[in-house]
A = this chain, B = another copy of it.
């Protein structure tokens, strides 16, 4: 991390801890420069960073002051989903999102792409490159359908961080988390079956439900604590639900971490009604606070939780390596994996296993967590500044996604059409709902918010939103 960002973070932490109070003057540039042994311009950069984050404001000739009230925008409203099973729609909107290959001259606001241009990933690419040349059966041939044993061992160890006690034999490697989720659904459910989901929810799962002819029951979801357990209980009483699918840790798109007590209570409900839980943990390792949150799987005693994850958000999506710990459904999941893709590519599995074994995964994660925590502050600050008043914003606890809610009636698809000319696209909220709700919301990716053009881009999105709202008024 650069010096000025370090300093800015330290100051931000002191403000958040109350060591500097609202309205109070912050130390002068010169003082800080001497105190920290850094240049004047470094301190100035750090203060500009605090300004960007909405934490401090400069007053002419007087220095920087802690903002009166931290301009934290309001949270999105608790979602009110239809609460009956519906067939999933929105495929055309999803297709639009996933049909365009990302290009380096376009800012990646819309898709769930992490920052892959970081030095801590270099060793992984080097081993991928080295292994590619070896031309041995092990790298280039079919592997075992379960996946490479060395990687399964490393993944089993990684899951200790979320409180799991798994062995390599409990893990099946998949082609991304997509295949893990898809295999989990097919292992448990038949066409026509009802699956309860958080709402908003990952569009990949929704589209899988659509493809398999299953129905989604969207549950009201609190932007800080996740799905309503009361609503879930009522739904379980009312409908023959086969599985609960959710992303409880660093949720996509809302970013919340479901409290541990809620995770336990959810599991108890699943036991009482004897349904399976498909837990998407793809962003879990990117929680800003260490140690990372426990998974529901870590409380699971009778194997009803299918833990799905991947290296797509922590390392790089293009590797297409995910995994599933399917509990008691291991045999069914193995069959689904075999019929879906036969097996996953060996090369990236071997390279990732090496990367973890060499002790490079955790330091990389630490960097990314810091970067994304900063990104959240920046992005929240920009949205507060450039979006119209009344815009509501999520408070993610991990990952690199911000959920932004405009007033009812706002149309995010229209926003995207308007933004197309400037090569900007956001993820429209409606793809995160089976029934096409949340059209007034968008999801923004702040993984690369350090890119110089990012602020201008968010400014333009914000101004376009303001324009559209004015046109409708």
Contact = CB atoms under 8 A, between A and B. Distances in A.
Interface in A321-376: 334-336, 338-348
Interface stretch (A69-77, A178-186, A381-389, A456-464): A178-186
Interface stretch (A10-18, A138-146, A391-399): A138-146
A343 B346 CA distance: 17
A281 to B, nearest CB: 17
B179 A340 contact: yes
B98 A144 contact: yes
A125 B129 contact: no
A144 B100 contact: yes
A318 B129 contact: no
A76 to B, nearest CB: 26
Given A137-B103, A138-B103, A142-B317, A339 B204 contact: yes
A207 B341 contact: no
Contacts of A320: 175, 341-345
A91 B348 contact: no
Contact of A142 (B111, B140, B182, B343): B111
B135 A121 contact: yes
A317 B344 CA distance: 10
Nearest to A119: B135
A318 B143 contact: yes
Contact of A135 (B116, B144, B210, B319): B116
Contacts of A141: 102, 108, 113, 116, 316-318
Nearest to A129: B132
Contact of A99 (B111, B145, B319): B145
A132 B149 CA distance: 23
A143 B133 CA distance: 24
Interface residues of A, number: 75
Contacts of A211: 186, 335-336, 339
B101 A138 contact: yes
B137 A104 contact: yes
A469 interface: no
A5 interface: no
A136 interface: yes
B101 A207 contact: no
A179 B342 CA distance: 8
A461 to B, nearest CB: 20
A346 B316 CA distance: 11
B335 A347 contact: no
Interface in A140-179: 140-146, 148-149, 175-176, 178-179
Given A95-B145, A320-B343, A340-B340, 6 more contacts: A98-B342, A108-B137, A122-B135, A142-B318, A175-B344, A345-B345
16 contacts: A98-B343, A101-B142, A108-B137, A116-B141, A121-B135, A128-B133, A141-B316, A175-B320, A178-B341, A178-B342, A179-B340, A179-B341, A179-B342, A204-B339, A319-B345, A320-B343
Interface of A: 91, 94-95, 98-104, 108, 111-113, 116-117, 121-122, 125-126, 128-130, 132-146, 148-149, 175-176, 178-179, 182, 186, 190-191, 204, 207-208, 210-213, 312, 316-320, 334-336, 338-348
Those 4 A-B pairs whose CB atoms lie nearest each other, nearest first: A178-B342, A129-B132, A140-B318, A140-B316
